[in-house]
Structure formats: C-alpha cells, structure tokens
Amino acid sequence: MRNAVFTWKLLLTGLTIAFAGLPLTVRGQTKGETDQQAIVAVVDRFVDGWNRHDAKAFAAVFGEDADFSNIRGEGASGRSKIEEFHAPMFATIFKNSHQSYTAITTRFIRPDVAAVDVRWEMTGATDAQGNPRPDRQGLLNFVMAKNTGEWQIVVMHNLDLTALSPSNSGNPTTKNP
C-alpha cells in the first residue's frame, strides 16, 4: 500500500510538472512573432537614431552593403556612405526634426527576408535657409534580411506622401488615364 501511495504521488507530481509547462508552450511565441518583434526593434532603433540626429546610430541598422534612397531618389550604398549622407542633414535641415511611425506592415518573403512598410510622420524639419517646413507623412519601404541571427535593413526607399491627395482606389468610378 505504501508503494502504491508513493507511486501515485510520483505520478501526480510528474503530471503536474508536465502540464505546468504546457501553457507556456501553447502561449509561447512562434518564430514568426519573435522575428516580427525583432523587425519592430530595428524600426525603433532607426527612429531613435533619427530623433537623436545621430548618423552613426541611424546607419547602424543597415547592412554593411545596404542601399538607400530618399524621397528625391538620391541615395547611398553601404552603411558608411549612408552615415556620411545623413550626417550633414542631421546637423542642418533635420537637426530639430522628430520622426515617429504610425503603422508597420511586414511580409515575410522567406524566413530570413522580409518586406517592411513603415508609415511615418515628421515634425521640426526646416529648409536650407532654416525656415520651418510643414509637418510631413510618408512611407518607408524596407527589405530586411536576417544575417547571422540579426535583422538588418538591406534596401530602403522613402516616399513623402504629404502632398498627395487621398486615394480613390476603392472608388469604382476612378479611371486610369
């Protein structure tokens, strides 16, 4: 009888331990959720570097051989060139700017490659003469890749959507010219 009680206690203890870990497994994050969080963290570091007007921190989220283009189609290739491109602007027209994002959309092309769209807003920019520019909204389009376990921007295109009128793409009467 004593052995039976011990066996039941041991069995119950084992089952309790086994089932205690089950909710953690069920509630645990999937690989995609973990990657999505890592991508958001890259965007957060991108915005933080911008808001600190720190070209080195800003460029650090780009891959060593990344390509970048701005709203005018001007660009740079390579992390160091991206840093060099932004340094003078962070000291002048963007020195008081503040950027934030309102939405991030991610499409995983492969487990280690993602297309990421980031809706952004900017305040505090000036023109070359130091005159305030209107607040802006836009879209960043990134191709990100996971290299050696870390997500990095490998291609970036920036669009300024401020001057565009609202889309009528949902309107069936809209015709293409």
Each residue's pLDDT tens digit, 50-63 = 999 999 999 999 99
Q: Is residue 176 part of a domain?
A: no
Largest CA distance in the chain: 92
Q: Are 70 and 50 in contact (CB under 8 A)?
A: no
Phi and psi at 11, nearest 5°, equal -60, -45
Each residue's pLDDT tens digit, 64-113 = 999 999 999 999 999 999 999 999 999 999 999 999 999 999 999 999 99
Residue 82 vs residues 21, 89, 131, 138, 151: alpha-carbon distances, Å = 46, 12, 25, 19, 17
Q: List the CATH number of the domain containing 105.
A: 3.10.450.50
Q: Is residue 13 part of a domain?
A: no
Percent of the chain clearing pLDDT 70 (strictly above): 74
Q: Is residue 27 part of a domain?
A: no
Q: Is residue 118 part of a domain?
A: yes
Cα–Cα distance, 127 to 133 (Å, whole number): 6
Q: Is residue 89 part of a domain?
A: yes
123 pLDDT above the threshold of 70: yes
Q: Are 75 and 69 in contact (CB under 8 A)?
A: yes
Range(s) of the domain holding residue 90:
36-160
